[in-house]
């Protein structure tokens, strides 16, 4: 959901994901409120966090969420 308070309209969202084993963080800017991550490894733990940004820059990041991919 969008932030409860914002000085200016939200321009987009940024998704950060980290493969837990390597610690390598990647990021992608997302226009809408959903995004499909593709090319993830099977049976692998990832940590995800999100933030919204507007013309003033990025907001505060969300709490980190840990997920593990399945076989397919």
In tens, the pLDDT along 9-37 reads 889 999 999 999 999 999 999 988 889 99
Domain boundaries, the chain: 12-69
pTM above 0.85, yes or no: no
Closest CA to 17 of 71, 72, 70, 69: 69
DSSP string of 4-33?
Answer: S--SS---EEEEEEEETTT--EEEEEESSS
Q: Is 13 exposed, middle or buried (0-12, 13-18, 19+ CB in 10 A)?
A: buried
SS3 41: coil
CATH number of 12-69: 2.60.40.10
């Amino acid at each position: 959901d969008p932030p409860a308070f914002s000085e200016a309209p939200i321009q987009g969202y940024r998704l950060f994901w980290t493969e837990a084993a390597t610690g390598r963080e990647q990021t992608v800017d997302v226009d809408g409120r959903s995004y499909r991550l593709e090319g993830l490894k099977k049976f692998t733990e990832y940590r995800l966090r999100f933030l919204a940004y507007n013309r003033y820059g990025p907001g505060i990041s969300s709490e980190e969420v840990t997920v593990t991919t399945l076989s397919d």
